[in-house]
Amino acid sequence: MTSAIFVLVAAAIFGLGVHGLLVSAHIMRKLLALNLMLSALFLLLIVVPASIDGHPDPVPQALVLTGIVIAVSTTAFALALMVRLFRKQGHATIHPDLDPALLGRKHGRRTAPEAEGERAP
Amino acid sequence: MSALAVNLLPVLAPLVAAALLAFRGTPRALAMTVAPWLPPLLALPLLLGNSEEVAGLPFVLLDLRLGADPVAAPLTVLCAVAWGLAGWFAATRVHRDRVLFWSGWLVSLAGISLALLAQDVAGFYAGYATLSLASWLLIIHARSDEAWRAGRVYLVMALLGEMAAFAGIAAIVSQAGNVALSELAGSIDLGSGWSWLILAGFGVKMGIVPLHLWLPLAHPVAPVPASAILSGVIVKAGLLGWLRLVPPGSDGADTVGPVLLLLGIGTAFAGVLLGLAQRRIKVVLAYSTISQMGLVLSVYAAMLMAPERAAALLPWLGVMVLHHGLNKASLFLACGCAPGRSRLRGLLVAIPALAISAAPLTTGMLAKTGLKAAFHDAGLAQGWTLVLSLTSTATALLLWHFWRLVRTERGYKTAHPAWLAMVLAGLVVPWAWAVGHGLELHLAAGLWPATWPLAIAALVVGLKSALMPGWTLGLPAGDLVVWLERFFGAANMRVARVAEASLGSLPNLYPVHVRMTRALLWTERKITSLPVAGFLILALGGLLWLVTLLF
Amino acid sequence: MIEPWLAQVLPPAVVLVSTLAAIVIFIAGEERQRLRIWVNLVAATLKLILVVWIGLSVLAGNEFLFRFELLPGLELILHADALSILFASLSAVLWLVTTVYAIAYLEHSPNRARFFGFFSLCVSATMGIAMAGNLLTLFIFYELLTLTTWPLVVHNGTPEALAAGRSYLRYTLAGGVVLLTALVWLYGLAGNAVFTPGGFLAPLAAEHATELRIIFAMLIAGFGVKAGLVPLHGWLPKAMVAPAPVSALLHAVAVVKAGAFGIIRTVEDVYGLELVAGLGMRLPLIAVACWTIIIGSLLALREHHLKRRLAYSTVSQVSYIVLGIAVGGLLATSGGMVHLVHQGLMKITLFFCAGIFGLLLGVSKIDQLDGLGRRMPWVSVAFTVAALGMIGLPPIVGFISKWYLASGALAVGMPAVLAVVITSALLNAAYFLPLVGRLWLGPPGSVAAARIEIGRLPRLALVCSALATAFLTVALGLMAAHPLSPLNWVIKIAEGYAP
Amino acid sequence: MSFDKLLLALVFIPLGTALVAVMLPPARRRWAVLLGSLAWPCFLVPLSIAVAREQTLTLVFGGWSPPLGIGWRLDALALVVLWVHALVGIAALPGAWQRFKPEETESGPFWSLWLILATGVNLATLAADLFNLYVALELTTLAAVALIATDDGIAALSAAMRYLLLAVLGSLMYVLGVGLVYAQTGSLAMHQPGLVELNNVALVLMLTGLMVKAAIFPLHVWLPHAYSNAPGPVAAIMSAVVGKVALVALWRIWFETAVDPPTLLTNLLGLIGAGAIVYGALAAYLQPRLKMVIAYSSISQFGFLLLLLPLACQQAFQGAGFHLLAHGLAKAAMFLAAANIVTVLGSDSIRHLPGLDKRMPLEAFTLALAGVTLIGLPPSGGFTGKWMLLSAAWETGGWFWLVLIVLSGLMSAAYVFRILALTCFHPARRAVHHLHPKPPAITSLAALMLALLAVVIGLYPHPVLDLLGSGVLMDGGVRLQSGVPGAGP
């Protein structure tokens, strides 16, 4: 019963995290959301195996420990990346048009040089 | 000289000369000097060769065999004499486009030589096809609109004919391979369909009605010596084709005999009737040739109907061939010599004309004797002989028409000795041939049958000028051609349209391509945005999970 | 007898000679013209010598076989049988001539290293096709041919050329895809089987008849793309934008013949005509061939662009080969196969001439041919000879093919096929004779002004290569009965297939 | 002698060198990395021999058996991945050497990251349990993101960030799945079929997470930008192995842990692969930048690897493994060539391609050769892979897959030939105002060697095929029936 609550809570947090990760514009918010998700994950990892045979299992705890290390390093790295991005473009959001060339055709402009030959009906 | 050399020389010499024409300067001049005198080379195989001996060239074409045999002999003689004399005429009278003329002349000569001498099917066909195509050059020599039209009609018909013949030949070859011509009779079953194809194919060259359409167009436009050989010699290559490929005695050939006989007689009359409606002398002569070829056809038909007598009739056929060839050639040569200018020239026109009308004691009478012999041998009723005599009447009428037209030809052209020689040859050679082959001439018995048809003709002429002096027929030269041209012109357009619309290539997918491109770029733009991407990840996971749940 | 190792080495050697040449040419680069010319000529001559050597050796009863296991159960086999030699020697001879022609033709044009490099590669691929000992090898080289010819098709780099290249790829790669599918299917059914005269699929016929039918149709369609079977021929006329030597060699020999050769192999060595007939696929094949012959000719008749008319003529003529094979019997099979050589010779001559007209006088349309006979008599003679041969005028080689095809059709009781052959001959006449007529008899006033001036030697090379092939068309036709003529060679092959 | 211990070298040499490199002064760093990068592949030779002989090598640390202990395992498939990694890694070195000179600021972290990436990839390849795999994949991802970010432009940084976020999302899903597996079974081992009764939710979570990392359509959205904005050597190694590692993990989970997944799921995954093939090829055809074309082509080619799931027989396994090899080599060659092109032209817009065959013939040739493999034209590695997949499709009666594979060649041809036509045959020789000096020839040659290798392995594929086919698959490959190619049913 308690484990069910934990699972539900974890799921809720995870959902919040996902939403934040995807929808927030600011990278900082995204990273916070990411950490939220990680917390939910760790919670789940601890809770779910335990609920199987009643007593704590060392393995998931070891896993979570490792996970936390990874989470910390990932977050740190992402923050560093964010800072560099911020320095480059003056704001800490992901540039919506990553590749202007990809969207070059959006305006109906023909970019390929072979266009003349190719389009002849 | 070896048999091979003797047989090859007439074929190769013109080809070498034709090749020399390509080199400007001396070689070309040399070729033109030599060219007129090459046809007599054809006499070599006849004179020097043994008629039984066949010279083989196993590597050439499909095992080429050459030799002079009795079937081709009359035409060989005709070719040597008439083509040679016409060449003499041409040597001095053809001034325009000489390279074109002589190349056509020489290649045609090589072709007919090969056709005459070849003793295997492929060799014969090779010669014949060369002849057909090369004589086109002679027809279009003038390059006037008329010449082009005649050339076109000729080419279409010649090719059609050749292909029909080719189909028949294919039937032969499919059974026996490239068989020797001498082994053809009796060894091949030419179910009537195939023999008809061969007959029709070569019939085009002969100008048998209704395959004659090219003839009245082509003969008038060709230069005079070319018309002479076209009408005198080349048309008879068709006869050679019949004799070679559907020899009397072939299985299935006897069934076609009677039909051919009717066709022959029909052609004889139709040629005359159509010719009477013409106003140009060379056209009239062309129709006369058609009519005469009808007679030749009827002899051939008789040979088919009496295969056992065929060998005996062959010399008679030779007489006919020589008689018509030489006389018709001299009439054509006459067209180039202002025949209306003097009495002597009138006489030189009248002799061959009378001969062709089968006047008494002429070679024509001799030929008619042969015809009657043939009809007799074929077991035909007496009525046929009467019909035969009536063809003489008809021919006489046509030549009377010709005579009247000829009298108006009074240009300033000089007479040419070759003309005279041709007329003389027409007088002498057939007789010599007949005597040489020991034919029974029946001179006395033939006099009256030769005379009365002419009398009737004279009567008709008299009546006509008395009763309706101004009345003339008028038909375009080549009669049916005009309608056919119109019909095929329209059909050609239709075929072209069908061809154009038919399955040119795969359909153009351009619009689909554009739409797909746009859709794809739009999608890619959409799913590159992070929220959509994340949603996709979750959705895909959800979908996969759903699938596992359901199944 | 020859050494066993030689019997193994020679087939790949024949293929690799021109690959090596290509590599040298690519590495040598654009500037080393003299080296390139020598490499080209030496390789072409060497290849010819090798092919002749193998050919004579095969004649003497030697066997050549090179096996290499590409994948487990999937072998690359190069061998030399009489049919291989037929195609290989044709390619080798014409490669030599075309090399001479191409060197002269491209005298002043850019990108010659690329051109000759791919040109040699393409010959390698063709040789591979000729020597292929099983369907997989054939397929591999068939695809290589696609790859190596595409650069030649788009060589000029004009939008038109690029479009033609795209079209070429679309068709040929799609064909390759169909082929690959069929190949997988066939390997699944029959495993790794080598070409066997009379086919190796007969034991499967009872159980897998429908599958074999579908596979057959796919194989024919796959090869038919290159062979230009209507309606798969769309690329061919477009590909005419390529330089003349390419049109000449590729569209007279390599590409279209590769397709036809594939069909021959499929019908004779994979299925066996008997099985094809048993599966009910022979008549459809004949019908397709006939249809192509007629439609190709009609399209040619409508075309006013010289090279494109020749291309449509190729469409029509190549199907003679298919027709002969499908009709079967000694005569027709010989007629069809020998047309592989004969059509190649005639068509290459025509393309050579068209190329010379185009290069020197800028002539590309039919009505520009008027009066060229006087201006370029020798080229015109070559053109005339080849065109007349196409119509089937004796003694040019085309006559021999038609002779055998026509009589062969009757020998197996198919007068309808004969009708098609004859109709096609008439149509050939209808679209070739006007060209010849224009050349010699057209109003001389319309002779075009010279477009470019080229040196005496290149000019001589151009004219001589055209004359050489034209001479061959006459010589081989005239000498058709010679024991070493293509005809006799082919009859020997056909006897293996249709005893 | 036991070869097991040699596995350590694969991980610890690059890791150790990376750590050492950090400590070295910048001028020496490159040399250390060079040594490290060349050293670990040397161990592949004895390992290959061992694998050929023993089929599988396992190494368990410190006597702790899984799940607590860490186990490594080397089998044929892992060996193939490692070889690709080694070859591409070495071939990418000259380019990296040229670009990341000590005097340039961005080169600071590059060399260590390069080796850390190598460590991560090797680790992920060797990982024998699910969590170990997670760690390795995370390591790989972080290193890759950092490497992408060495470019330091907004585009590269944004791409890196996006990659990072999506990859982490994928990792989380994966690790969630792992947790569920453990909760249910109490085991994390990958290679113990029958032991693990896989929960479908867990399976789906793991699959989805790995698919994000492997950039399987439609979860590929990070890939084009990441690849196309990364420095050439990075793009090469990423396309050749980084994505593949995740995909191989997916295979392993699918075949070794998921005992009896629903057929529909199998087919759905196959369909996703099909979608990837088609979509990637079409998108590649429409791209205006060379590197984008190559990137989208990767998406298309990855789809083939997913086809193993529905085809599921030994030939398919051999085919997919071979395809992985051939594609890895060819794609890396293309990226390396593209990097050189960018160096010289300053741009990889296809507008600048015309005339390239004159300026950079080796690069043009590389693109062409690699293109041949991508299309799968014989004789090339791509053809061999495709052929095996095709015969697998035939064997299993998978007509849809058969037709798809065959058609995919056409679609690949469309974009490859578009590039080739532009490069070699387009007449427009647009003046590029300032051509940068050419990079040293060895960079071009390295790319060319890879492309050549991709073709040559098609000529002599036996060693690889034998390796993959000798039953070693993943020894738990319970659902892969063996089949002899070419034999009729």
Q: Which domains are present in chain A? A: 2-94 (1.10.287.3510)
Q: Do B505 and C233 touch (CB under 8 A)?
A: yes
Q: Do C143 and D393 touch (CB under 8 A)?
A: no
Determine the residue among C390, C396, C418, C488 to mutate to test chain B binding: the one whose Cβ has the most chain B Cβ atoms within 10 Å.
C418
pLDDT one-digit tens code per residue, C363-378: 888 888 888 888 888 8
- Name the least confident of B219-223, B427-431, C215-219, D467-471: D467-471
- CB interface of C with D, residues 67-96, below 8 Å: 69-74, 76
**Position D483 confidence tier, pLDDT thresholds 50, 70, 90:** very low
Q: How many CB pairs under 8 A join B and D?
A: 70
- Name the least confident of B251-260, C20-29, C234-243: B251-260
Q: What is the structure's pLDDT at D423? A: 80
Q: Which of B510, B531, B538 sits opposite A23 (nearest CB)?
A: B531
Q: Do D175 and A67 touch (CB under 8 A)?
A: yes
Chain A interface includes D90 (CB < 8 A): no
- CB interface of D with C, residues 401-420, below 8 Å: 402-403, 406-407, 409-410, 413, 417
Chain C interface includes A114 (CB < 8 A): yes
Question: Among residues of chain D, what percentage have pLDDT more than 70?
Answer: 89
Q: How many CA atoms lie within 13 A of C42 on its CB side?
A: 12
Rounded to whole angstroms, what are the CA distances from B129 to B108, B109, B122, D137, D164?
9, 12, 10, 82, 82
Determine the residue among B526, B548, B549, B551 to mutate to test chain D binding: the one whose Cβ has the most chain D Cβ atoms within 10 Å.
B548
Chain C interface includes D268 (CB < 8 A): no
Please list every residue in chain B whose beta carbon sits closer than 8 Å to the beta carbon of residue A22.
Answer: 530-531, 533-535
Residue range C203-226: mean pLDDT, rounded: 89
Q: Which of B520, B532, B544 sits opposite D207 (nearest CB)?
A: B544
User: Residues near D347 by Cβ (< 8 Å), separated by ≥ 6?
Assistant: none
Rounded to whole angstroms, what are the CA distances from D154 to A95, D8, D101, D216?
8, 38, 22, 25
Q: What is the structure's pLDDT at B152? A: 85
**Position B190 confidence tier, pLDDT thresholds 50, 70, 90:** low
**D475 belongs to a structural domain:** no
Domain co-membership, B397 together with B309: yes
**B22 belongs to a structural domain:** yes
Determine the residue among D314, D365, D377 to mutate to test chain C binding: the one whose Cβ has the most chain C Cβ atoms within 10 Å.
D377
**Interatomic CA distance for residues C477 and C479, integer angstroms:** 5
Residue with tokens 């000798």: D470
Domain of residue B349, residue span? 3-473
- CB interface of D with B, residues 82-141, below 8 Å: none
**Interatomic CA distance for residues D236 and C93, integer angstroms:** 46
**Interatomic CA distance for residues C20 and C26, integer angstroms:** 10
Chain B interface includes D169 (CB < 8 A): yes
Buried b (16+ CB within 10 A) or exposed e, B63-78: bbbbbbbebbbbbbbb
**Interatomic CA distance for residues D278 and D299, integer angstroms:** 9
Q: What is the structure's pLDDT at B169? A: 86
Answer with the residue of higher pLDDT: D265 or C262: C262
Q: Classify burial at B489, counting beta carbons within 10 Å of its beta carbon; exposed 0-12, middle 13-18, buried 19 or more.
A: exposed
Q: Do A22 and B524 touch (CB under 8 A)?
A: no
**Total domains in the fold of chain B:** 2
Q: Do B551 and D263 touch (CB under 8 A)?
A: yes
Q: Classify burial at C207, counting beta carbons within 10 Å of its beta carbon; exposed 0-12, middle 13-18, buried 19 or more.
A: exposed
**Position A104 confidence tier, pLDDT thresholds 50, 70, 90:** very low
Q: Which of B521, B537, B550 sits opposite D286 (nearest CB)?
A: B521
Domain co-membership, B551 together with B416: no
Q: What is the structure's pLDDT at D487? A: 31
Record the tokens describing residue B236, joined without a space: 């008879």
Q: With a cut of 60, say whether residue A1 has pLDDT above it.
A: no
Residue range C326-333: mean pLDDT, rounded: 88
Torsion B321-B322-B324-B325 (CA) sign: positive
Please list every residue in chain C whose beta carbon sits closer than 8 Å to the beta carbon of residue B506.
Answer: 170-171, 231, 234
Shortest distance, CA C160 to any CA of chain A (angstroms): 7
**Total domains in the fold of chain D:** 1
**B384 belongs to a structural domain:** yes
Look at residue B189 and give its three-state secondary structure.
Answer: strand
**B459 belongs to a structural domain:** yes
pLDDT one-digit tens code per residue, B20-75: 888 888 989 998 888 888 888 888 888 876 656 777 888 887 888 888 888 888 89
Q: Do A113 and D430 touch (CB under 8 A)?
A: yes
**Interatomic CA distance for residues B104 and B136, integer angstroms:** 8
Chain B interface includes A98 (CB < 8 A): yes
**Position D67 confidence tier, pLDDT thresholds 50, 70, 90:** low
Residues comprising chain C, all counted: 499
Q: Which of D172, D182, D225 sits opposite A60 (nearest CB)?
A: D182
Q: How many CA atoms lie within 13 A of D267 on its CB side?
A: 8
Q: With a cut of 50, say whether residue C258 has pLDDT above it.
A: yes
Chain B interface includes D166 (CB < 8 A): yes
Q: With a cut of 90, say whether residue A92 has pLDDT above it.
A: no
**B440 belongs to a structural domain:** yes
Residue range B479-494: mean pLDDT, rounded: 75
Residue with tokens 């970019």: A111
pLDDT one-digit tens code per residue, C217-236: 999 999 999 988 888 888 88
Residues comprising chain B, all counted: 551
Q: What is the structure's pLDDT at C8? A: 83
Q: What is the structure's pLDDT at A55? A: 66
Q: Do B541 and D208 touch (CB under 8 A)?
A: yes
**B504 belongs to a structural domain:** no
Domain of residue D404, residue span? 6-469
> Shortest CA distance to A85 belongs to which of B433, D149, D250, D117?
D149
Q: Do C163 and A120 touch (CB under 8 A)?
A: yes
Q: Do C393 and B133 touch (CB under 8 A)?
A: yes
Chain A interface includes D176 (CB < 8 A): yes
* Paired residues of C134 in beta bridges: C194
**Position B254 confidence tier, pLDDT thresholds 50, 70, 90:** low
Q: Which of B520, B536, B547 sits opposite D218 (nearest CB)?
A: B536
Stated as kind and residue range, the H or E segment containing D248 is helix D243-252
| Predicted ipTM of the assembly | 0.76
Task: Tell me which chains share at least 3 CB pairs under 8 Å with chain B.
Answer: A, C, D
Q: Do D135 and A73 touch (CB under 8 A)?
A: no
SS (H, E, C) chain C: CCCHHHHHHHHHHHHHHHHHHHHHHHHHCCCCHHHHHHHHHHHHHHHHHHHHHHHHHHHCCCCEEEEEEEECCEEEEEEECHHHHHHHHHHHHHHHHHHHHHHHHCCCCCCHHHHHHHHHHHHHHHHHHHHECEHHHHHHHHHHHHHHHHHHHCCCCCHHHHHHHHHHHHHHHHHHHHHHHHHHHHHHHHCCCECCCCCCCHHHHHHHHHHHHHHHHHHHHHHHHHHCCCCCCCHHHHHHHCCHHHHHHHHHHHHHHHHHHHHHHHHHHHHCHHHHHHCCCHHHHHHHHHHHHHHHHHHHHHCCEHHHHHHHHHHHHHHHHHHHHHHCHHHHHHHHHHHHHHHHHHHHHHHHHHHHHHHHHCCCEHHHHCCHHHHCHHHHHHHHHHHHHHHCCCCCHHHHHHHHHHHHHHHCCCHHHHHHHHHHHHHHHHHHHHHHHHHHHCCHHHCCCCCCCCCHHHHHHHHHHHHHHHHHHHHHHHCCCCCCCHHHHHHHHHHHHCC
Q: Which of C408, C422, C478 sits opposite B61 (nearest CB)?
A: C478
Q: What is the structure's pLDDT at B343? A: 82
Angle made by CA atoms C393, C397, C401, in degrees to the nearest 5: 90
Chain D interface includes A34 (CB < 8 A): yes
Q: Do D222 and B545 touch (CB under 8 A)?
A: no
Q: Do D286 and A105 touch (CB under 8 A)?
A: yes
Domain co-membership, B434 together with B525: no
Q: With a cut of 50, say whether residue C441 has pLDDT above it.
A: yes
Residues comprising chain D, all counted: 489
Domain co-membership, B454 together with B546: no
**Interatomic CA distance for residues D363 and D344, integer angstroms:** 11
Shortest distance, CA C117 to any CA of chain D (angstroms): 12
Q: Do C160 and A118 touch (CB under 8 A)?
A: no
Buried b (16+ CB within 10 A) or exposed e, B215-246: bbbbbbbbbbbbbbbbbbbbbbbbbbbbbbbb
Record the tokens describing residue C285, joined without a space: 């094949």
Q: Which of D357, D425, D469 sits opposite C162 (nearest CB)?
A: D425
Shortest distance, CA C148 to any CA of chain A (angstroms): 21
Q: What is the DSSP string of B433-453?
A: HHHHTT----HHHHHHHHHHH
**B43 belongs to a structural domain:** yes
Q: Do D391 and C177 touch (CB under 8 A)?
A: no
Record the tokens describing residue C249, joined without a space: 């060699």
Q: How many CB atoms lie within 10 A of CB D48?
A: 19
Residue range A25-44: mean pLDDT, rounded: 87
Q: Do D488 and C189 touch (CB under 8 A)?
A: yes
Measure the CA dihedral C266/C269/C272/C273, to 10°. Answer: 60
Please list every residue in chain C whose beta carbon sits closer than 8 Å to the beta carbon of residue B173.
Answer: 331, 403, 406-407, 410
Q: What is the DSSP string of D330-360?
A: HHHHHHHHHHHHHHHHS--BGGG-TTHHHH-
